[in-house]
Amino acid sequence: MPEASTLLLFAAAAISINLTPGPDMLYVIARSVGQGRRAGIVSALGLSVGYVLHTLLAASGLAALLASAPGAYSAVRVTGALYLVYLGARALWPRRDRGAPDHPAVAAAPPGDDARWPAVFRQGALTSTLNPSIAVFFLAFLPGFVTPGRGSVAGQVIALGLLFNATATTTHTVIALLAGTAGDWLRRREGAARWQRRFSGVLLILLGVRVLVM
């Protein structure tokens, strides 16, 4: 286990990184504004699943293999980018089969529709899992805080990854609450729902494009 001073330094660095606007933060904002606070929080929890997976990949060395195989890296990156574009397109052009209301069937569920939350959670998990840059980031960032002679290297990497996950999930939850509050305010304005949906859809598509060109 890393020393307490190392953990404190790592936590401070992780919080600083998590407060820097990036794809995950913008994803949570898009969900929160389009669907409300609960959807943003569920999305943040979904993202945390991907962080756990990437932590395990870094600990096992698979992230290094991904980084050294340009073809595999590109395939995962393109898949993740297309998935974000797909979610954005679903937000812009929702299905209206079976009398569905004016909300995207998958990308933006009506607030209070409990049947949608598992789908929102899965989409958050897929979004972070299909982002290979997170795996490479973990591989580059976590080992710098590993203390030789303090136990298993893999165990230390996992501990650091879980700490990063905790700071990221907490940060994203706060952002979801703030952005969701703004979304709730907009929802009370006539005609704002359509613009909220368009904002969320465009933001998700732009995130997909950003991931694609990274």
pLDDT for position 100:
39
Pick the closest to residue 44 from 35, 94, 103 (CA basis): 35
pLDDT for position 187:
63
- Cα(61)–Cα(66) distance, integer angstroms: 9
Q: Per residue of the chain (214 residues), what is the pLDDT tens digit? A: 667 788 888 888 888 888 877 788 888 988 888 888 899 999 999 999 999 999 998 888 766 666 677 776 677 678 777 877 887 787 777 665 444 343 333 344 444 444 488 888 998 999 888 887 788 788 778 877 887 677 787 888 899 999 999 999 999 999 999 998 877 776 666 555 566 667 777 777 877 787 677 6
Q: How far is CA 169 from CA 50, 99, 106, 123, in A?
A: 11, 36, 22, 16
Query: What range does the domain containing 78 cover?
Result: 4-213
pLDDT for position 95:
60
pLDDT for position 86:
80
pLDDT for position 52:
94
pLDDT for position 195:
64
Q: Which residues contact 173 (CB under 8 A, 6 or more apart)?
A: 40, 41, 44
Other CB atoms within a 10 A radius of the CB of residue 152 amount to: 12
pLDDT for position 186:
66
Q: Domain total for the chain?
A: 1
CA 10 vs. chain centroid, Å, equals 20
- Cα(200)–Cα(31) distance, integer angstroms: 7
pLDDT for position 59:
85
pLDDT for position 214:
62
pLDDT for position 85:
82
- The type of residue at 41 is I
Structure tokens at 119: 């789908």
pLDDT for position 204:
72
Place of tokens 């290297």: 153
pLDDT for position 72:
66
pLDDT for position 78:
81
pTM score, two decimals?
A: 0.71
